[in-house]
Amino acid sequence: MIRNLLSIAFCLVCTPIILAQQPQKAPIESAGMKSIFNGKDLSGWDGDPRLWSVRDGVIHGETTPENAAAGNTFILWKDGTVKDFDLRLSFRCNATNNSGIQYRSKHIVDDKVKNKWVVRGYQHELRNEVDFPNISGFIYDEGGKRGRICLVGEKASWEADGKKVTGSLIEPEEFKKLFKLDDWNDVVIIGKGNNVKHYLNDRLILDFTDNEPNLALNEGIVALQLHAGKPMWVEFKNIRLFQTNH
């Protein structure tokens, strides 16, 4: 009996306990926030003109059987890179495929890529789904080797010996209430140093710190994705950016 009690006590001490944290709202938008999409045309952006356009004041990306994407393709913001930043926008998409928001990423222009608009790096996943884990908000290592770096709901870090999860931010049932299927959703991405936070509809859903010195990304471009495969569409509006060290 005593041995069993000691074993239980040892497990409780040695096993990390991840407790759900109180919901956190996104910081108030900075007065220095600037729009990086004019709502009229794609000035300052570069993507496949077959697939990207402006419709009713929003960026519209769409693939069809006639106009398919040769591999994942992106529309790139051409007016700078981001280090420490606050990026805010709204999106909506259909459920046949997925999209993403790249940040601190790299435009790949070597002769091995499938199209002229290939981007690799941190991706904020976008999906029109509500069932974990295939939902909007997780970090995917686009073109890299780490896959799903940090999932929605996790407070985590990536260390030299791998990923460590230290906290819980939102539960699956809470996410289903938070996300707006077939409608516009608001995204806030804030990067400071090696930490990034993702907010959805004014709630913190992911907190990730990249302590892997050979893989962490500190600066790069912003881009928006159309995924290869099944025909899909995605739209973006109200795209604003604040940079704290530029």
Model confidence over 83-140: pLDDT tens digits? 999 999 999 999 999 999 999 999 999 988 999 999 999 999 999 999 999 999 999 9
Regarding beta strands 203-210 and 154-159, do their DSSP bridges make them parallel or antiparallel, or are they unpaired? parallel
Counted domains in the chain: 1
Q: Is residue 13 part of a domain?
A: no
Residue 218, amino acid: N
Q: Is residue 7 part of a domain?
A: no
Q: Is residue 136 part of a domain?
A: yes
Q: Is residue 65 part of a domain?
A: yes
Q: Which H/E stretch holds residue 180?
A: none
The CATH number for 230's domain is 2.60.120.560
Output the six-digit token pair for 20: 């759900």
Structural domain for 165, as ranges: 21-243
What is the C-alpha separation between 51 and 69, in angstroms, rounded?
8
Q: Is residue 11 part of a domain?
A: no
Q: Is residue 79 part of a domain?
A: yes
Q: Is residue 121 part of a domain?
A: yes
Q: Is residue 40 part of a domain?
A: yes
Query: What would the pLDDT profile of 193-202 be if each residue is shown by its tens digit?
Result: 999 999 999 9
Within 38-179, where are the H helices?
A: 172-178
What share of the chain has pLDDT > 70, as a percent?
91
When pLDDT is averaged across residues 70-90 and rounded to a whole number, the result is 97
Query: What would the pLDDT profile of 141-179 be if each residue is shown by its tens digit?
Result: 999 999 999 999 999 999 999 999 999 999 999 999 999
